[in-house]
Structure 1
Amino acid sequence: MITAISFVLILLSFVVIGLASGRKATGKRKDYYLASSSVSPWLAGLSAVATNNSGYMFIGVIGFTYQTGLAAMWLMIGWIVGDFIGSSFIHKRLRQATAKTGEASFAGVIARWYGEKFGIWQKIAGVIMIVFLIAYAAAQISAGGKALEGVLGINPWTGAVMVAAMVLLYSIVGGIRASIWTDGAQSITMMFAMTILLIAAFAGVGGVSGALELWSAIPGFLDPFPDDLLFPGALGMGLFIVGWLFAGFSVVGQPHVMVRFMALDHDRNMGRARAWYYGYFTIFYLLATGVGMLSRLYLPDLADIDPELALPMMATELLPPVLVGVILAGIFAATMSTADSLVLSCSASFTHDLAPERLETPLILKTATAVSILIALGLALSGNQSVFSLVILAWSTLAAAFAPLLTLYALRRRVSEPVAIMMLVLGVSIALFWRFGLGWHESIYEGLPGILVPLIIGWFLSERREIAASPEPAAETSPSAAE
């Protein structure tokens, strides 16, 4: 009972914050999808990292680390370094292009990057975004269900419906602003939850030295290199690490994350937003990896059940009920912070990428959001997919679709619409074939060839643009003017 009370109180605080954001809503599309490009750097950074971390970090990464051991650190290193490389030259230019084009959707900004409109490309992009963002949202909703099952023993369908209902409630009221405001509170809850669990877990095994001794007794658990590489030796390890570096770089192709930087109040504040983002990201990923490794000591037989239940089950075993409620709230915070962003990006695709003309009325914008959530909930309830696998599939496919073209644009290269379409279709096809045709995705992240091949081809088929012709605006467009 105490666990349930603390859990519900924290969740209610998220809903209240989200509903409070509705007081600033104007009802216009740029406000609903981009908060009128008025978000402060600290909030943009925390919102982006909370959206990036998601239920995948609480459920998927911890489950992966439980099975893999120390070799999972390469996922963390590659992901953060690759993410940092992409942000060093793409994020600011995307924010500048958002101001110049006046578009409210991720695909819409890319389609009008150099002034002309890539209408066919935008519609294809819209379809791909809707399909894979909804699959991604279903994984987040499923993660919430798994958390509730692991802690309270409740049917996972109940947790899935709870996540969907709360996201629907505040998203249709405040749009992206509600998502960003709640992300700020959720990021604090997530960090606190992971920290207290790590401290309690180390204390229970006699500290770091005790944990090292127990880990050493598990065959191969402290081996820094995985044993199922596609190629033996240094070549296989190198491709494994580079693959996860591309997984981090793939952030630039994730509409639900990049929209946070598009909503930043000014492109000159991008450095501050990135500092908040990477500071939090690095600390949180270290905590999650540590908890994942410790969970193997407390739940040695979980591999036969579901390793993705490791965190909630370990919390139940180690912590008092009130803190178990905090852990459960942290997991829900992670799933909600990403699910709301995903469905809003889907909504933008419905109303601005696929519709014959941009739909502007508040009722239509909110209806599209509700439809996106209901479809994602239906998919989440249809089966017991692995959160880790489903997230990586959606992540890599979206990256292969958008990262190559966005990279060329950020490097001041320009392509024709047929080339842009070719790059999009080729990238997605390679990523899917790598996973489902060749089955090499467990050794080398499928986003690596999915990004690299169309990027190289696109480079040779593109032309250099002078700086004056880039999307950098001479002066920042005010929110009122952008509307």
Structure 2
Amino acid sequence: MDSVGDYVIGGREVGPVVTGFSERASEMSGWLTLGVPADAFNTGIMAFLNGLGMIPADLLAWAGIAKRLRKYTEIVKSVTLPTFFETRLQDDTGLVKGVSSVVLMLFEGGYVGAQIVAAGTLLQVLTGVEPWIGIITGGIIVVGYTMLGGYFAVAWSDYFQGAIILAAFIVLPIIAYTSYGLPFDELASVGGGSLTSITAGMTGWAALFGVISYAAIGLGVPGNPHIMVRFMGIDRVKNIRLAALVAQLFMFAAYAGAALVGLYAIVVFGQGNVAQADNAMPRLTLELLPSVVAGVVLAAALAAMMSSADSQLLVATSAVVEDVYHGFINPQATEQQLVRYSRYVTLGLGGASIAFAYLAKNTPIYTLVLDYAWGGLGAAIGPTLIAALWWKRVTAKGSVASMIVGASTMILWTQLSTVLNALNAMPSQEASPFLYQFVGVYGLFPAFVLSALTLVGVSLVTNPPRGVDEHFDIFDKPLSAVTSEPGGGTPTYVTDGGRTTDGDGARDVSPKAVTEADAIRAHVEAADYWDEQE
């Protein structure tokens, strides 16, 4: 770990297979291993709709975001999303970087806490210990290896953890099938038909908004930085296609397997015989498998939690150290100092996440992840990331307004039903079925829409950054063609924190200092690339 780039994105040296596994493992988390089986245990086959938005959204992210983000962030020497936003939107006020950093720290910290809650739940089922013991144990393990190894530790542990996850959700349904056959006939008799209905027995507005809620989960993909940094950290742009294939195969098998596990738990135990739906996956594993094998399979659940928690912890750390400390407090900090402070901050944020996990230990994991982490990041960050890569007209003020509206809407929406009930203002299902069901829709749907509309509206009435065509030239050119240009390929709009102007006092145009070593490295990389092509 010689530089903050090594710590945060592994020096962009992680291969496609590891990247593909890591991208999926970092997203799936305890939400997949405990949450999706719990959802299936509660709703039946409707839980298969968890992949309705996620599978196409992830594919579109690989196709439409990965290459552009990978190329651009290397050229402008950005290792975090807030720094990417600041450079792309030419914001010299610090607002874009500051607001996005706060959003990342808030929601990624909550995300880590959710994973640690999942670890505590699993350890309680396995060993009977109190949840707080499992929370502290899981938290110490994750914080420890993330602090020591940074992105390399995270990516490679995700690779092995992802393999365990995939194996578990392929093997467990197969074993259940050999013992019980297909679960659907049994489900029809248990749930009165609702468990075998793709809308869980709902009709009308309830069914429509239920499907929309599942589809809206996919809107969170571009806004979750622990996924986006996988695109930034892959070793070569040309390897993105292979990484995407690995990730998509992984996702399809894992989502289908997780839902089947929840369905078989109903068949084996009945819905009334499991204390909490979150226990469905570990209970079924212990029921069907010999103890040694069950231990390996249940390691998959812990692995999923760890692979997400470490990724989210690393993103939150980068927001504090690289974007806040290095960006605002000490721009002259050395790489050695930044790595050292990154480890300190990882430890501190990890401790705060453990405390949050203890306070939230009674909240269902499925809800904790979707409402308090995934949704907030998706609504606040997603529209800006997409626009920054594809829309020349987006502005810094539009981005800031979008982030504030998206984050605020998501937070408020999670409490909307509670607040309306307290005020006796909750719409009646009989008098206003549309409003009644709309209040219960997954908050990421309205939050993302409002955030995107705010981004477009404010951007259209504010001045766009200058020289946007130069930015998009980088998006569209091969990486080698840019890095082989004079000056190491560093564009003129990249700044080093100094405040010089373009002659009329309008804006900062000072180029980022390019050392002789940078120029030599760029030349060597370009030569290596063309050697490979030949």
Q: TM-score range by the shorter chain?
A: 0.7 to 0.9
Residues 1:458 and 2:489 aligned together: no
**How far did residue 311 of structure 1 move?**
0.7
Query: CA 1:245–1:335 in 2, change beyond 3 Å: closer, same or farther?
Result: same
Scaled by the length of structure 2, the TM-score of the pair is 0.79
Counterpart CA distance in 2 for 1:441 and 1:83 is: 26
Residues 1:217 and 2:189 aligned together: yes
**How far did residue 204 of structure 1 move?**
2.4
Q: Which residue in 1 is equivalent to 2:330?
A: 357
Q: Deviations over 1:55-87 (max 9, x none)?
A: 110111111110010111222222212332343
Q: Deviations over 1:456-478 (max 9, x none)?
A: 34234346986543242663559
Counterpart CA distance in 2 for 1:118 and 1:387 is: 38
Question: Is the contact between residue 148 and residue 328 of structure 1 (CA under 8 Å) also seen in structure 2?
Answer: no
Which one is further off, 442-451 or 387-396? 442-451
Counterpart CA distance in 2 for 1:118 and 1:99 is: 23
Name the SS for the 1:200 alignment partner. Answer: helix
Residues 1:414 and 2:384 aligned together: no
Question: Is the contact between residue 101 and residue 115 of structure 1 (CA under 8 Å) also seen in structure 2?
Answer: no
Q: Which residue in 2 is equivalent to 1:113?
A: 88
Which of 43, 55, 69 is the aligned partner of 2:30? 55
Which of 94, 101, 126 is the aligned partner of 2:76? 101
Q: Which amino acid aligns with 1:346?
A: A
Q: Percent same amino acid among aligned pairs?
A: 24
Name the SS for the 1:414 alignment partner. Answer: coil
Counterpart CA distance in 1 for 2:8 and 2:448 is: 27
Q: Which amino acid aligns with 1:169?
A: G
Question: Is the contact between residue 67 and residue 303 of structure 1 (CA under 8 Å) also seen in structure 2?
Answer: no
Residues 1:67 and 2:42 aligned together: yes
Question: Is the contact between residue 97 and residue 113 of structure 1 (CA under 8 Å) also seen in structure 2?
Answer: no
**How far did residue 108 of structure 1 move?**
1.7
Name the SS for the 1:415 alignment partner. Answer: coil
**How far did residue 95 of structure 1 move?**
1.4
Structure 1, gaps ≥5 residues long: 1-25
Q: Which residue in 2 is equivalent to 1:385?
A: 363
Q: Which residue in 1 is equivalent to 2:350?
A: 373
Question: Is the contact between residue 80 and residue 245 of structure 1 (CA under 8 Å) also seen in structure 2?
Answer: no
**How far did residue 402 of structure 1 move?**
0.5
Scaled by the length of structure 1, the TM-score of the pair is 0.87
**How far did residue 322 of structure 1 move?**
0.4
Name the SS for the 1:375 alignment partner. Answer: helix
Q: Which amino acid aligns with 1:447?
A: L
Which of 42, 59, 62 is the aligned partner of 1:84? 59
Which of 380, 383, 392 is the aligned partner of 1:404? 383
Question: Is the contact between residue 89 and residue 394 of structure 2 (CA under 8 Å) also seen in structure 1?
Answer: no
Equivalenced residues, count: 451
Q: Which residue in 2 is equivalent to 1:31?
A: 6
Q: Which amino acid aligns with 2:242?
A: R
Query: CA 1:200–1:442 in 2, change beyond 3 Å: closer, same or farther?
Result: farther
Question: Is the contact between residue 199 and residue 210 of structure 2 (CA under 8 Å) also seen in structure 1?
Answer: no
Query: CA 1:56–1:138 in 2, change beyond 3 Å: closer, same or farther?
Result: same
Which of 194, 197, 213 is the aligned partner of 2:169? 194
Structure 2, gaps ≥5 residues long: 419-436, 490-516, 523-534
**How far did residue 390 of structure 1 move?**
0.9
Q: Deviations over 1:357-380 (max 9, x none)?
A: 355412211001111111111111
Residues 1:437 and 2:416 aligned together: yes
Name the SS for the 2:301 alignment partner. Answer: helix
Query: CA 1:156–1:442 in 2, change beyond 3 Å: closer, same or farther?
Result: farther
Question: Is the contact between residue 219 and residue 444 of structure 2 (CA under 8 Å) also seen in structure 1?
Answer: no
Which of 19, 26, 40 is the aligned partner of 1:44? 19
Residues 1:276 and 2:252 aligned together: no
Larger Rg: 2
Structure-to-structure mapping, 1:258-407, within 5 angstroms? 258-302=228-272, 305-355=275-325, 356-357=329-330, 360=335, 361=337, 362-382=339-359, 383-393=361-371, 394-407=373-386
Query: CA 1:323–1:441 in 2, change beyond 3 Å: closer, same or farther?
Result: farther
Query: CA 1:241–1:93 in 2, change beyond 3 Å: closer, same or farther?
Result: farther
Counterpart CA distance in 1 for 2:470 and 2:355 is: 48
Q: Deviations over 1:91-134 (max 9, x none)?
A: 22221221122122222212222454461121122112111111
Residues 1:122 and 2:97 aligned together: yes
Residues 1:241 and 2:211 aligned together: yes
